[in-house]
Structure 1
Amino acid sequence: SVRAYFKLQKPVSELVQYVEKLEYDIYEEIGMPATKVVVLSMHQSGASNSTDVVFGLLSDPISSPINPVSLSVLRSSLIELFLQQSNLTLTTSIFGQPSKFEILKFPKGITVIPVQPAFMWPITQMLFNFTLNNSIAEILANFIQLKDQLKYGLRLRPYENLFVQLTNQKGSTISSPVIIQASVTSSDFGNLLPQRLKQLAQTITESPAKNLGLNNSVFGKVKSISLSSYLKGTLHATAPTASPAPSPEPSISPHPSFRPTHPPASSPKSHHPQPCRKCKAASPSGNSPLHSPGPESGPYPSFPPLISPAPSTIAPPPCPYSRPATPRSHSNLTPHHPHSTSQLSPDLPPLPSVSYGSHPGQGIDSVKGPVSAPLAQSPSVQSPS
Structure 2
Amino acid sequence: MLDSGAAPKFNRPSMPRVTLAHVAERAGVSTATASLILSGREEYIKQFRPDTVEKVRRSAKRLGYRANLFAAGLPTKAPAFFVLVIRDFGGRQDIHDWHLWAFEGNLLAGAVRLAASEGLYPIVATINPDAPDAGVASAKRIVTGGVMGAIVRAQNPPLEKWLREQLHLGYRIVVVFPDQISNWPQNAIIADNLLIGTSAGRLLAASQCKRWGLVRYKQRTTREPHQLRIRGIEDTARQAGASFEVICLPPPPQKPTDRDLARLAKRDFDGLFALDSVLSVNTLQACRRVGLKPGEDISLVGVNCSQWHGPAMPSITSIDVSWSEVGRTAMQQLIQLSHDHQYLFESILIKPQIAPGATCPVPEEMLSDKTGSA
Return the index of the structure with the highest Cα Rg: 1
Normalising by structure 1, we get a TM-score of 0.24
Return the TM-score normalized by structure 2.
0.25
More helix by share: 2
